[in-house]
Chains A and B, each alone.
Chain A
């Protein structure tokens, strides 16, 4: 008897489409790995490489394959910074908490983003628009505190700049919607 959900017999509508894809993929991927507990991290890495995060269903399938408990898989995965458990958002925000940024108040900037979006670092907003994570040094300590928003480095961050970024995103979104509406109207 399977104690844990292995995704078998579930229709795509029952699950998030992304997660469904991940499960199908893992079914193909797992037989390629020997059933040895030493393979746990390589398996998790290859899942994340392809899908950019680990869903809990995925971790349970890995546990079944290696004959270890889901608890153990979760324990190992949460220990390492490299694994994430939420899909990345459309806009990815990385806040630097390296030494220079830490001294310059990087944690305040992180808290600003977290409070503004109502999520913690490592999480994604429910609408999948934004994800926030902490990183350790992006290599431009002279600009501390630094945040990297969608590949753009934002130096000398301040709480007001955090607000400004979201205003910009808002304007962008409104423009996209307007253009979409105009296109539809002209068709």
Chain B
């Protein structure tokens, strides 16, 4: 076991854990969207899990930092908060939040992060960018809402882990990036069997399962 100090509190964790995982397991919330504990090489793409470590001159992402004995970490310094708020506002500038009609409002990770950072769910003072994406895409067992997707990549990762190959992938680039199944196969011929690992892990409600189809598939495997 390794001991470290986070926000003046001593916590213990197994060697080899990432700093982010150690904090989350000890009840210290650090905003994050793309982190998956089993992933060997963290994406570090959401840029939300910044912390300051004593002895380092600039903030680092907690998901890429391995725990070391005697680390002294601060998760809520003004520098960290500024970075996190900016990253969060950038995300929200491409994610129109309609909390009233959103199917995941109760468990939305974005709402949790906004509360933690004490900011609103709008992109202010940044502008809102209207991405040229489809309203919804039918992916057989679930529906994909590109405008809600923050492209954290968790679904792409769990899909590969669960099925051994990439059924879900990213396509296009920049603001046009979407995820999905591609190819000319009819939806029923797709090798997706509706394990829903992707929809379960989605932090923003971009992948919503179709309950009626899943029930049917379970009855006639």
Contact = CB atoms under 8 A, between A and B. Distances in A.
Contact of A78 (B166, B167, B172, B184): B172
A59 B185 CA distance: 12
A33 interface: no
Contact of A3 (B169, B170, B191): B191
B181 interface: yes
Contacts of A75: 166, 169-171, 182
Provide the main secondary structure of the chain A interface. helix
Given A3-B189, A3-B191, A71 B169 contact: yes
A132 to B, nearest CB: 16
B9 interface: no
B171 A56 contact: no
Interface in A31-62: 56-57, 59-60
A175 B184 CA distance: 41
B166 A79 contact: no
Interface in B188-206: 189, 191
Given A68-B165, A69-B166, A72-B166, A56 B184 contact: yes
Contacts of A24: none
Interface residues of B, number: 17
B183 A74 contact: yes
Chain A interface size band reads: 10 to 19
B196 to A, nearest CB: 17
A78 B168 contact: no
Given A3-B191, A4-B183, A71 B172 contact: no
A71 B166 contact: yes
Nearest to A72: B166
Contacts of B180: 71
A89 interface: no
B173 interface: yes
B184 A57 contact: yes
A11 B173 CA distance: 36
B183 A60 contact: yes
A59 B170 CA distance: 16
Contacts of A3: 185, 189, 191
Nearest to A70: B183
A5 interface: yes
A78 B183 contact: no
Given A75-B170, A75-B171, A79-B173, A56 B183 contact: yes
Interface of B: 165-173, 180-185, 189, 191
29 contacts: A3-B191, A4-B184, A5-B184, A56-B183, A56-B184, A59-B183, A63-B183, A68-B165, A68-B166, A69-B165, A69-B166, A69-B169, A70-B182, A70-B184, A71-B166, A71-B168, A72-B166, A72-B169, A74-B182, A74-B183, A75-B166, A75-B169, A75-B182, A78-B171, A78-B172, A78-B173, A79-B171, A79-B172, A79-B173
Closest A-B pairs by Cβ, 8 of them: A70-B183, A74-B182, A75-B169, A78-B171, A71-B169, A72-B166, A71-B182, A75-B171
